[in-house]
Structure formats: structure tokens, C-alpha cells
Amino acid sequence: MVSTECSPGTSESCAYTGPAGTEGVGVCHAGARTCDASGSWSACSGEVVPQPEVDANAVDEDCDGVARMCAPGTSESCAYTGPAGTEGVGVCHAGARTCAASGSTWSACSGEVVPQPEVDANAVDEDCDGVARLCAPGTSESCAYTGPAGTEGVGTCQAGARTCDVSGTSWGACTGEVIPQTEVCGNDLDDDCDGHASPSCAEWLSTGSMTTKRWMHKAALLANGQVLVSGGHNGSEALKTAELYDPTKGTWSVTGSMSIERRGHAATVLQDGKVLVTGGEGLNGWALMKAELYDPTTGTWSSAGSMSIERYGHAATVLPDGKVLVTGGEGPNGWTLMKAELYDPTTATWSSAGSMRIARAGHMATLLANGQVLVSGGHNGSEALKTAELYDPTKGTWSVTGSMRIERRGHVATVLPDGKVLVTGGEGPNGWTLRKAELYDPTNGTWLDTDPMNTARYLPRATVLQDGKVLVTGGEGPNGWALATAELYDPTTATWSSAGSMGIARNKQTATVLQNGKVLVTGGKGDGEFLKSAELFDPAP
């Protein structure tokens, strides 16, 4: 009889070979063997001993009694609980949960953002509708004020405002801002926002009359603030008398007389405060060579020698080195002159300054910021000129520059604060009285038309005020009558405006800016009447 180990077909557990305490824990268990047909045991199979834990399957592979649901410390998104279509729009997003250190549990879901009421003006889409609101629809706010510092809230000046559109996504244009403007006369408002309403604005005031009637005379502002008026014509003869205006008292007083009668002469204030008078027409109507000096400290005149030729209707310009350039004019027998000459106050001598390119009288000679002298227009004895030229004191030479836009004589030229030269009025082709105004640019030597004056004027007077505006007064109108009107040119806007009217019409008067900013206008000729009256223009009463 054959001996057997077991009953065929039966099975039994094998001895567990894994670590003590792990059998029957988690997936760990002993294997099994089966008795074959011959009664022998098969090899043991099916044993499961601890293995590395597999995260997130909820099975305890390492048989430590804990089934790991997740990898410790890892995170994952939670299911989004907000309205459909809002996840990932604006600020909305799902939250997240983190696996515990044991790997057996997830933390609570946190950090989820679902739609909230929109917060205006932060450019964030809180309600997750795809639109970030910059502002509350229909609301308004002030814009940044662009006017000069210290003017906001003064007078009429105020910041503008902007309004949020209906979507809340953008601001409208800024509107309603008011920055300083030129003071409007008669509106009782502070338009320039300086804290003072000026109902009357600029105005004309009468002041004391000169001691005698004067026309074609000259006025010079002295260093002491007084104004020296010399020569001219009283309706019957040329004058050699002179007088002084005292702005502090508004009175006139006689001072020393020149050595000879003069009208249409030139008077220039030298750097030492004395006044050089040159040329003009004398008693017999002849052009004069003689020059003389007025000393304000003594009120007396002394000889300044004689020019090389007689001159009337010439121009005299003080150069940066203190010398005086005298140009053109009408000479003996009415000839128009090309010659120029220099007076040197340090040596009290005259010397040649060469010759202009063209003979001229009734022209303007204007000192530019670069030290050169611009000579413009005038006439050559028969017709008005539009040509212009430059004198360079450093080289003592003359050169041609751009021509004006139109022929002019009896015009005025003034240097603006930006260095450009404003030329206004005069008599043009065919004797027409001109309204046209133009600007010379020294940087490129060209002329450009600017807005015309309100009134055509021949032989007006122009002065630069302390605020940079140019006051043009009087002159002859197109009908040959003297004008009482005045106007202002504003370089900042390149526009003209009325400056009211003088108390009386005048031509060939003088106009002098006083140290207090007012403008003294003296004498001239009205409609057939020679004048001794004077008046003041006050730009800021």
C-alpha cells in the first residue's frame, strides 16, 4: 500500500512569511497549497506580503492598517460650485484640497471664488461676467486740472469732469474745464483767475498836457522813470524845446532846449543814461547832420559831433556794446540814403558802418536777441519796399535776409518775448494803408503772416507791454484821418483784440512804456489839429 502525505484535492494555508503583525492586515495574507492526485502537496502560492503603498487607491498595500487615499502634501482642485460658465472668468475659480500627512484623508476644500457683487473703479471682474467695471455707470468725477498752479478754484477757473459710461468700463472725455483766459472787459468776472475781477480791464486815462503842441517829436524813457520829450513841430515851425513828464505826479516841466530845432529826428537812450539825438529836419526843412546829448543829471544838452551826412526819416539803434547804429533816411536834396554809421559814446566819435544793400527811409531798425539789427521796409524815394537786411556788429557787415510778405513804409516793428519780430501796418503798394501783420523768425530768416489788425494803420505806434503783449495805437486810417482806436496783439494766441480808444485821435504821436507798466501817449496830430495833450493806457487798472 502506497503511503500519501495528504488527501488528494484538499488545500491548506502555508506558513506566512511576511513581517509579524502584518498577516491579515490590509492586503497581506498567507499563501495556500493543494494536495495533488498522488497525495503530495503542491508548492505554496498566493501569499501577499507588504508592498510599497500605492497612493489614491484606498488599498492598504503595506499592511500597516492604513489605506492611503492620496499622496501626503499633494493638492487637487475641488469641484466648482459656482454658476455654470463662470469658472475661470474674472476672479472666479475652483478651490483646492490637500492630502493629509497620513495620506488617508483630504482636507476641506478652500480658496474657491464664486461670483460676488461688482466693486466699481478697481478694474476687477468680481461678478465673473467677463467685464471689469472701472467705474459706477452714470457717476461723475473731477478730472486733473491742467491750468497753472494756484489758479484752480480762483475766479472762473475750475477742473473739468468725466462721466462713467453705461457699461462701467470706461470714462467719457473730460469736459467743462476752465483755465485762465484773457480778461474780458465789462463782465465783472475774474477771467484770468488772478483773484481780481476787472470789470473795466484796460483803460485810457487823461494826464497832464505838455507845455506846447508837438508833432513828429520824440520821447525817451530815462533811468529815473521820467520821460524826455524833445523837438517836433507845433503847426508852424520846428521846435528845439524839450520837457519832462513825471509819472509819479502826472505833471510836465520844461528842461533844457536843444541847440537846434528838429522834427522827425531820432532819440536813443545810451547805456550811461544820456539821450543821443540825431538828424531830423530843421527850421528851413533841411535835413540835419548835427547830433547832441541830453544829460538827465543836469537837464542840459551838449554837442555829440556831426554825422557824415544829413539825415531825416532815419533809424537809430543802440547795439549791445553801447554804440549807436544810424541807418538810411533822406539826405541832402531829398536823396534816399544807403549809408550807415556808428556813434561811440566812449570816444564821442562817429565812424562808418558800411552801406545797406538798398537805400531806405521811413524804415524800421530792430535789435534782435542775437545782437544783429534787422532793417525792414521803408521807401527808396519812389516806392515802398518789402526787402529786409541784417547788420552784424561783430563783423561790421550787411547781408540780405528774407523779404516781408508785402511792401511797407511807415510801419512799426517790435521784438516779442520769444525773439521774433512783429511788423504791423504801414503804407503798402499803391499807397494802400495796411491791416496786415507779419512775423520775422531770426532762426531761419523768414516771414510769416499772422492775423491782421482790426484796423488798417499808417504811422501807428507800437509798444511791448510788461506782459509781452503789443499795444498798437493811433496812426492814419485808410481815409487819411487820424485814429483814436488802439488794439493789442497777444503772442501766445497770435490774435488781436481791442484796447479801447484814446481820448483823441492821433498820428505821429509818441508811445512810451513807463516803469509802472502804463503807456504814455503824447501829442501828435488829430484831424487838422496839432496836439499837446497826453494820456495813459493802463493795461491792468
Report the relative pairing of strands 510-513 and 519-522 from DSSP bridges: antiparallel
pLDDT at 64: 85
Mean pLDDT of the chain: 93
- How many CB atoms neighbour CB 314 within 10 A? 31
The full DSSP string for 497-537 is EEEEEEEEEEBS-EEEE-TTS-EEEE--B-SS-B---EEEE
Cα(71)–Cα(69) distance, integer angstroms? 7
Torsion-angle region of 305 (φ positive above 0: left; ψ -120 to 50: alpha; else: beta): left
Note whether 6 and 40 are within 8 A (CB): yes
**In this predicted structure, what is the pLDDT of residue 56?**
73
Distance CA 459, CA 376 (A): 15
pLDDT at position 198, please? Answer: 60
Give the pLDDT of residue 284: 87
Q: In the structure, how many helices (H) and strands (E) does the chain have?
A: 0, 34
Q: Which amino acid is at 2?
A: V
Rg (CA), the chain: 50
CA 120 to chain centre: 36
Give CA–CA dist 322/18, Å, rounded: 119
User: Which pLDDT does position 520 carry in this prediction?
Assistant: 98
Q: Give residue 113's pLDDT.
A: 95
Cβ-Cβ contacts under 8 Å for 161 (sequence gap 6 or more)? 140, 141, 142, 143, 174, 175, 176
Name every residue whose Cβ is closer than 8 Å to that of residue 247 and which is 6 or more positions away in sequence.
225, 226, 227, 514, 515, 516, 518, 520
pLDDT cut 90: percent of the chain above it: 78
Record the cell numbers describing residue 534, joined without a space: 497826453
Question: What string of pLDDT tens digits covers the 541 residues of the chain?
Answer: 556 789 999 999 999 998 999 888 888 998 899 999 888 999 999 999 989 888 777 788 889 888 888 888 899 999 999 999 999 998 999 999 998 888 888 899 999 999 998 887 777 888 898 888 888 889 999 999 999 999 999 999 999 999 999 888 888 999 999 999 987 766 778 899 988 776 556 789 999 999 999 999 999 999 999 999 999 999 999 999 999 999 999 999 999 999 999 999 999 999 999 999 999 999 988 999 999 999 999 999 999 999 999 999 999 999 999 999 999 999 998 899 999 999 999 999 999 999 999 999 999 999 999 999 999 999 999 999 999 999 999 999 999 999 999 999 999 999 999 999 999 999 999 999 999 999 999 999 999 999 999 999 999 999 999 999 999 999 999 999 999 999 999 999 999 999 999 999 999 999 999 999 999 999 999 988 999 999 999 997 6
- Residue-wise pLDDT for 403-433, tens only, equals 999 999 999 999 999 999 999 999 999 999 9
